[in-house]
């Protein structure tokens, strides 16, 4: 399959103003040189999206649904190729990449189904003086900005609902992992998305170019997934033109193992919750909180499972833990571990930065006190700090002691106790006795500084729709 590397504007693959090397973090080799965009390319993308909105927003939901369904089918047929691309540019192992691609494709299928189900409302006003008609219309041109950790799924989680709603868009993926996003844009092209509806750019100067776009009144919506730090900057920028925003930001998930939990099941789930994607997930279990009476058994079994992982480049047969996305990200992980050690963390396994080529870091388990500073950082790697607690109330207090509120995990043999705990946790999502709950059919998103809005589920399409009330004299 031909590797696409150019910008995609108004239905054409275009040259831009410069180039950027995409690096394989497992051996630091150059995979491809891609085209980058200057301001005039960004303007051309906005012109195209603005023009296409007039016709795309008027297409029938069924027409849009069928294009999305076609995109789903192409993506599934090409899943191995795309997973290889994800693994090469992101560093994650092939099995994680393949899982991501299937999950990503499911957003096309889910929103192909949702496109024709947008609810409306028709009511008598309470006083009987009029009729209340409520309908939903596509917002307009949307900017979609995505991170490097799930280069396929974070793109489709925005592209699919935006297309289903009838919006047009400009996609800007992370500069570390653009090849997957470009391929997905090509799938949409082949599935029949008309020119101008989806545009892809990778600016030379990200901040300046995206800021310029956000200050053009033709842009109506910003859908961002990335760090809380960048999210805060963008919320401030969005304030100037009161741009609608949805923000899927950082997380620092607690994983609670209560004293009546099935420890073998909890270990299996903790491996998934912590290690899917090599630990580089906003949903990653970053603070493992374990009841004192089961702490020794859990720590021993969890450390054994972590220590048994095969660390190798993502496409190596049997690899279970690949490279981080870049040397810079790998070094950040190493610095956080060193900081934790300096504050008294006891290392159970791992904890040393390897020498040599590639952005690798070993699976690391440490036992820390509840005031260890590593607990207030989002560790985007294979590092699991364990904290021992004495009561459920103490566990809940530690879990909630963070600016983040994306997801929490609870393990207990008593469902009522688990639900009571879930209700007390400050998080947009809670997993009970499971290590993964992400599902295109469920609303994904956080509270506190983990974000605004929800993606997926029945609400996901509303991130791209405006509610309109029409009052009718009778």
What amino acid positions are annotated as catalytic residues? 248, 282
Is residue 215 near ligand NAD by the rule CB under 6 A? no
Residue 221, strand partner residues: 142, 244
The binder of ligand NAD chosen from 142, 149, 303, 421 (CB under 6 A): 149
The angle formed by the CA atoms of residues 231, 236 and 240, to the nearest 5 degrees, is 135
Q: Which residue shows structure tokens 């079994």?
A: 301
**Residue placing its CB nearer to ligand NAD in the complex, 67 or 238:** 238
**Residue placing its CB nearer to ligand NAD in the complex, 90 or 364:** 90
- Region binding ligand NAD by CB under 6 A among candidate stretches 40-48, 114-122, 205-213, 429-437: 205-213
The binder of ligand NAD chosen from 65, 238, 282, 366 (CB under 6 A): 282
The binder of ligand NAD chosen from 186, 259, 378, 463 (CB under 6 A): 378
Q: Which residue shows structure tokens 């909890």?
A: 266
| Bridge pairing between strands 364-367 and 346-349 | antiparallel
Give the number of other CB atoms < 10 A from CB of residue 295: 19
Taking each helix axis as running N to C, give the angle between helix 79-90 and helix 94-114, from 0 to 180 degrees, rounded to the nearest 10.
120
Is residue 230 near ligand NAD by the rule CB under 6 A? yes
Helices H / strands E in the chain, number of each: 13, 20
Sheet holding 383-389, edge to edge: 346-349, 364-367, 383-389, 285-291, 253-257, 407-411, 429-432
Q: How far is the CB of 290 from ligand NAD (least distance, A)?
A: 23
Q: Measuring CA to CA, which residue among 300, 326, 430, 268 is closest to residue 89?
A: 326
- Region binding ligand NAD by CB under 6 A among candidate stretches 68-76, 83-91, 145-153, 306-314: 145-153
**Residue placing its CB nearer to ligand NAD in the complex, 95 or 227:** 227
The binder of ligand NAD chosen from 148, 298, 302, 360 (CB under 6 A): 148
Q: Measuring CA to CA, which residue among 429, 411, 305 is closest to residue 364?
A: 305
Give the 3-state secondary structure of 273-301. Answer: HHHHHHHCCCCCEEEEEEEHHHHHHHHHH
Report the first-to-last Cα separation within the chain, whole angstroms: 60
Q: How far is the CB of 407 from ligand NAD (least distance, A)?
A: 9
**Residue placing its CB nearer to ligand NAD in the complex, 149 or 299:** 149
Q: Round to whole Å and give the CA distance between 438 and 11.
A: 32
Q: Is 116 left (phi over 0), alpha (psi -120 to 50) or beta?
A: alpha
- Region binding ligand NAD by CB under 6 A among candidate stretches 71-79, 124-132, 143-151, 193-201: 143-151
Q: How far is the CB of 157 from ligand NAD (least distance, A)?
A: 8
- Region binding ligand NAD by CB under 6 A among candidate stretches 3-11, 58-66, 160-168, 245-253: 245-253
Interface positions, 173-192, toward ligand NAD (CB under 6 A): 173-175
Q: How far is the CB of 163 from ligand NAD (least distance, A)?
A: 19
The binder of ligand NAD chosen from 110, 150, 361, 409 (CB under 6 A): 150
- Region binding ligand NAD by CB under 6 A among candidate stretches 49-57, 219-227, 391-399, 429-437: 219-227
Write the binding mask 423 to 462 for ligand NAD: x where contact by CB under 6 A, - elsewhere: -----------------------x----x-----------
**C-alpha distances out from residue 172 to 176, 317, 382, 463, Å:** 12, 32, 27, 18
List contacts with ligand NAD (CB under 6 A). 145-150, 154, 172-175, 206-207, 210, 225-227, 230, 233-234, 248-251, 282, 378, 406, 446, 451
């Amino acid at each position: 399959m031909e590797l696409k590397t150019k910008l995609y504007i108004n239905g054409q693959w275009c040259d831009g103003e410069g180039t950027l090397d995409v690096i394989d973090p497992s051996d630091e080799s150059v995979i491809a040189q891609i085209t980058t965009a200057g301001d005039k390319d960004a303007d051309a993308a906005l012109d195209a999206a603005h023009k296409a909105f007039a016709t795309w927003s008027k297409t029938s939901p069924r027409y849009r649904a069928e294009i999305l369904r076609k995109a789903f089918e192409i993506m599934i047929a090409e899943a191995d190729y795309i997973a290889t691309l994800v693994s090469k540019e992101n560093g994650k192992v092939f099995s994680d990449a393949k899982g991501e691609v299937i999950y990503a494709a499911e957003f096309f299928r889910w929103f192909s189904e949702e496109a024709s189900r947008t609810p409306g409302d028709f009511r008598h006003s309470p006083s009987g003086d009029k009729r209340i008609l409520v309908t939903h219309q596509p917002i307009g041109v949307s900017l979609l900005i995505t991170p490097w950790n799930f280069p396929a799924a974070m793109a489709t989680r925005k592209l699919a609902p935006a297309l289903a709603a009838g919006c047009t868009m400009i996609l800007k993926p992370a500069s570390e992992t653009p090849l997957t996003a470009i391929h997905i844009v090509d799938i949409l092209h082949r599935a029949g998305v008309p020119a101008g509806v989806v545009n892809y750019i990778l600016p030379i100067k990200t901040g300046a170019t995206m800021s310029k776009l956000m200050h053009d009144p033709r842009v109506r919506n910003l859908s961002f997934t990335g760090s809380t730090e960048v999210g805060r900057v963008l919320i401030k920028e969005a304030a100037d033109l009161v741009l609608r925003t949805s923000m899927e930001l950082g997380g620092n998930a607690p994983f609670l193992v209560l004293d009546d939990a099935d420890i073998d099941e909890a270990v299996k789930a903790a491996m998934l919750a912590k290690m899917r994607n090599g630990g580089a997930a906003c949903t990653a279990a970053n603070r493992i909180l374990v009841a004192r009476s089961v702490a020794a058994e859990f720590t021993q079994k969890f450390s054994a499972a972590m220590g048994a992982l095969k660390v190798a480049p993502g496409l190596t047969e049997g690899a279970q833990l690949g490279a981080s996305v870049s040397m810079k990200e790998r070094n950040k992980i190493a610095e956080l571990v060193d900081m934790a050690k300096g504050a008294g963390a006891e290392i159970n396994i791992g904890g040393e930065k390897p020498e040599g080529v590639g952005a690798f870091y070993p699976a690391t388990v440490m036992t820390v006190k509840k005031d260890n500073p590593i607990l207030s950082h989002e560790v985007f790697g294979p590092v699991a700090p364990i904290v021992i607690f004495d009561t459920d109330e103490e566990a809940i207090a530690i879990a909630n002691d963070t600016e983040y509120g994306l997801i929490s995990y609870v393990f207990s043999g008593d469902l009522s106790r688990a639900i009571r705990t879930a209700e007390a946790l400050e998080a947009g999502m809670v997993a009970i006795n499971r290590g993964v709950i992400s599902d295109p059919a469920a609303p994904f998103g956080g509270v506190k500084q983990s974000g605004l809005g929800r993606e997926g589920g029945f609400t996901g399409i509303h991130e791209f729709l405006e509610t309109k009330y029409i009052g009718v004299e009778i």
